[in-house]
Amino acid sequence: MEIELVSREIIKPSSPTPSHLRIYPLSFIDNMFVCNVPLLFFYNPNESSDQDSKISQLKKSLSHLLSKYYIFSGRLKDKITIECNDQGVPFLVTKIKSKLSHLLEHPEENFLNHLFADGLQWKDGDPSSAFIAIQINCFECGGIAISICMNHKCGDASTFITFMREWAIINKKLEEEKGEESVILPFPLHEGGSSIFPQKNLPILPESVHNRQKNVACKRFVFQPSIIKFLKELATSSSVLFPSRVLVVKAWIYKHAVSSIGLDFKTLPFLMAVDLRKRMVPPLSENCVGNIIWFSSMFADKEEMELKDLVCKIKQGLSEFCDTYPKLFGGNNFSLLSEFMNKAIDLKSKTRDVIGFSSWCNFPIYEVDFGWGKPTWVTTCGSPWKNFIILMDRKDGKGIDAIVSLEENHMTKFEHEYLELL
Mean pLDDT, rounded, of the chain = 90
What's the CATH fold of domain 3-196? Answer: Chloramphenicol Acetyltransferase (3.30.559)
Per CATH, 3-196 and 216-421 having the same topology is answered yes
pLDDT of residue 201: 81
Question: How many CB atoms lie under 10 A from the CB of residue 31?
Answer: 21
DSSP annotation string for 26-84: PBTTGGG--BEEEEEEEE---SSS-HHHHHHHHHHHHHHHHHHSGGGGSEEEETTEEE-
Is the pLDDT assigned to residue 210 strictly greater than 90?
no
4-11 mean pLDDT = 98
What's the CATH fold of domain 216-421? Answer: Chloramphenicol Acetyltransferase (3.30.559)
> Which range (25-34, 334-343, 405-414) has the least confidence?
334-343
Question: How many CB atoms lie under 10 A from the CB of residue 350?
Answer: 6
pLDDT of residue 157: 95
pLDDT of residue 175: 78
Given pLDDT bands bounded at 50, 70 and 90, which one contains residue 181? low
Query: Which amino acids are annotated catalytic?
Result: 152, 369
Given pLDDT bands bounded at 50, 70 and 90, which one contains residue 217? very high
Single-letter amino acid, residue 223: F
More confident site: 206 or 185:
206
Helix (H, G, I), strand (E, B) or coil at 3: strand
Helix (H, G, I), strand (E, B) or coil at 216: strand
Q: What is the pTM of this model?
A: 0.93
pLDDT of residue 187: 55
Q: Tens digits of per-residue pLDDT, 266-278?
A: 999 999 999 999 9
Given pLDDT bands bounded at 50, 70 and 90, which one contains residue 108? confident
Given pLDDT bands bounded at 50, 70 and 90, which one contains residue 208? confident
Given pLDDT bands bounded at 50, 70 and 90, which one contains residue 184? low
- Beta strand 293-298 pairing with 355-359: unpaired
Domain limits, the chain? 3-196, 216-421
Q: What are phi and psi of 155, to 5 degrees?
A: 165, 180
- pLDDT above 90 covers what percent of the chain? 70
Is the pLDDT assigned to residue 403 strictly greater than 70?
yes
230-253 mean pLDDT = 97
Q: What are phi and psi of 16, to 5 degrees?
A: -70, 150
Q: How many residues does the chain have?
A: 422
Half-sphere exposure of 388 (CA within 13 A, CB side): 15
Distances 368 to 167, 327, 378 between C-alpha atoms, Å: 8, 33, 10
> Which range (28-32, 332-336, 371-375) has the least confidence?
332-336
Edge-to-edge strands of the sheet including 293-298?
Answer: 216-223, 400-407, 388-393, 355-359, 270-275, 293-298
Q: Tens digits of per-residue pLDDT, 117-156?
A: 999 999 998 888 999 999 999 999 999 999 999 999 999 9
More confident site: 336 or 309:
309
pLDDT of residue 202: 82
